[in-house]
Structures are given as C-alpha cells and as structure tokens.
Structure 1
Amino acid sequence: MRAYYFDNLPGDQRLDHDSGTPVDLEYLRRLGLFLLTIPLDTVWEPEIDQIAKQQGYKFRDIMDITKHGLGDHFESSLKMYFTEHMHDEKEIRYILSGSGFWDIREYQTEEWIRIEVVPGDFLIIPPGIYHRFTLGQSNEIKALRLTKEIPNYNSHARGLETDGSSARGQYLDSLKEILVV
C-alpha cells in the first residue's frame, strides 16, 4: 500500500496520477484510516476474523468490480464510485485480487490523497470522510467487505446537506486534536 498526493492532471482516472509527493501512512492513520497489509500467501483468514470480532463486524461479502461481475453496470458503477462522497458507516475492504485507488479528501487543504491498494491490503475508511474510488490499470478488483449488519452501502454525494450531517460532524470533531495549527 502506498499513498501520495493526486496530481490533478487530466486523463484516465485509473492511471497512477502520482504527483511525486508521498504521504506517510502514519499521517493517514491519524486522519482516522485503519491501514494494514496481510499477505494473501499467509493464513490471513484468522487475522481478518480477529479484526471482525474486535470491531463487531458480523456480515461479509465479496465486492467484484469487474466487467464480468458488474456486466452492463460496469461503466456506470465506476462513474458512481469516482464521484466524491461519504458514508454514515465505515467502509471496510480486504483486497483479494486486482488493484484500485481510494482518493481521500484532505480536510484542511482540499487536496486529494491517493491510496493505492493491491492484494493483501486491508483498509477501513471512517464515516464522514469524503472520498472516491476507482480501479487501477488492471481494470478489476475483488475485495472482502465487512459490515456490522446486513450491508447498507448508501453513499452521500458531497454537498451542503452532507457537510452538515452528523457523520461528517463527528469525523471533523475527531480531527480537532491533530489539526491544531
């Protein structure tokens, strides 16, 4: 897993768009993200089971973002995932195959921080953080999703209503200590 500032240059969103300015993963952890690599060539299931038990995640399914998996909805789904949004719940993924990018909106600067994920990467994005997702150049990704209950994958596009939501407010409150200028 690696992270860097997005270059904001035009072109295919599935390209790296690496500005050349890396972002330390520890900084992302301070922003509330949980980042871990659990290699697929190890016995990874017990470690995922332990995290799920500790966090109360009871439901699992496989996210299959491939042309085969999404069929006629592939292109429209990619467009939807790449629209800036947030969730009321944590977004939890363990990457099984393929690659992708989660772009996280840095609160104070409004810059995009791009997080590249590959098989074995595990991430939790907190509720209330603006982000977007796209595939990598492999044009496919499969990931294990974890949720506390039967999943509700509703997202909320960025706007005045989401800016004022309780999930956004709680997220911003969590940043107060680390964003002291």
Structure 2
Amino acid sequence: MSGMEAWYMDESSEDQRLPHRLNPNQPVSREQLQNIGVYYWKLNADIYENDPELQKIREERGYSFMDIITIHPDKLPDYGNKVKMFYEEHLHLDDEIRYILDGSSYFDVRDKDDRWIRLAVSKVVRLRIAINRSYGGRQEVMSSSETAESSQLTNEVSLQR
C-alpha cells in the first residue's frame, strides 16, 4: 500500500490489527471522507523536514507544533501500554494531522450514521478535523481510534496548532 485506502469495517471483535473489511468490501471515497471531515494528501515523506507542500498546509491551517513518534517496541518506551491506548475510542477536539514517514497504520473514524470506517495509511499526511456536528438535531463530536500495525515500524509526525 502506498498512500491511503478506506473502507467500511465489519463488526468482528477479532484482532484489531486485522483489516476488518466487509465481505464484499465497501470502499469509502475521498468525497465521503471529506463529508465527515477527513482530508488527506500524498506527500513525499522522505523530505518532510523541508517539504514546501507540507509547509503550505501548516501555514494555511495555522499549525505551529510538531513532534515525531516512532511506534515500535524497540523505540517507544512502555510500548505495550501506549499501543493499548490507540485501540480505545477517543475524541480529538482540535484539527489533527498525522504524517506517516515509514511503515503503516490504521485510523478508524465514525461516519454520520455511526458506522466505522477504517483508513489504512502509509507515507501520507492524514488530516482529520474533529468538530462538533449536528445530525438530526443531536450534537456529535467526531471520534477515532488508531491502530499501529505491529509488524510495521511507523514514524509519525504529529502537527497541532
């Protein structure tokens, strides 16, 4: 995989590192993702420190903070407990960018009908805007869970305002 692919997830409680595709697969389009606040760009991860496209995104969206995390048992202190946190649903109240420099990861988000969508990403900027939205008179906050595939070394840059 190079970039990003998205699909509706099955309801299985099996190992969360598995793809969890419906059978038959139900892909999710870029337009569907944008409708729920998920935007992504394919950038050159090998030049992220000086990438003019990434700099443009940062300037346009007002991102000033950046950190890098390597999700790997040999690199991340307390790996087991930290990875468990990725499996739990949690809220992001601010815009969030994840830039995958190496390896791959899953990000799971809910659509407006409360169905889970899995995004498989590698070497791509993935922006998810978490904002309060109103559907049918009720307020909802976008939520997500993140799964780092254990067999992949994932270097992830986190950008925030």
TM bin, normalised by shorter chain, reads: 0.7 to 0.9
1:34-73 maps to which residues of 2 (within 5 A)?
A: 34-40=39-45, 45-71=51-77, 73=78
Q: C-alpha distance in 1, partners of 2:150/2:70?
A: 16
Is the CA contact 1:86–1:129 (under 8 Å) kept in the aligned structure 2?
yes
Gaps of at least 5 residues in structure 2 are: 131-140
Instruction: Write out aligned runs for 1:69-148 (5 A).
Output: 69-71=75-77, 73-108=78-113, 110-119=114-123, 121-127=124-130, 128-136=141-149, 138-148=151-161
User: Following TM superposition, by how much is the alpha carbon of 1:18 offset from its aligned partner in structure 2, in angstroms?
Assistant: 1.5
- 1:51 alignment partner, SS class: helix
TM-score (norm 2): 0.82
**Relative to structure 1, is the Cα distance of residues 139 and 12 closer, same or farther in structure 2, using a 3 angstrom cutoff?**
farther
Determine which structure has the larger strand proportion and give its number: 2
CA drift at 1:25: 1.6
| Cα distance in 1, alignment partners of residues 28 and 106 from structure 2 | 14
Greater helix fraction, Structure 1 or Structure 2? 1
* Residue 69 (structure 1) shift: 2.2
Change (3 A) 1:77 1:42: closer
In 2: Cα distance, 1:18 partner to 1:137 partner = 18
Residue identity (%): 32
Tell me the matched-pair count. 145
Whole-angstrom distance in 2 between the partners of 1:147 and 1:2 = 24
1:144 CA drift (Å): 1.3
TM-score between the two structures when normalised by the length of structure 1 = 0.73
The SS at the match of 2:31 is: helix
Asked if 1 retains the 8 angstrom alpha-carbon contact of 2:101 and 2:154, the reply is: yes
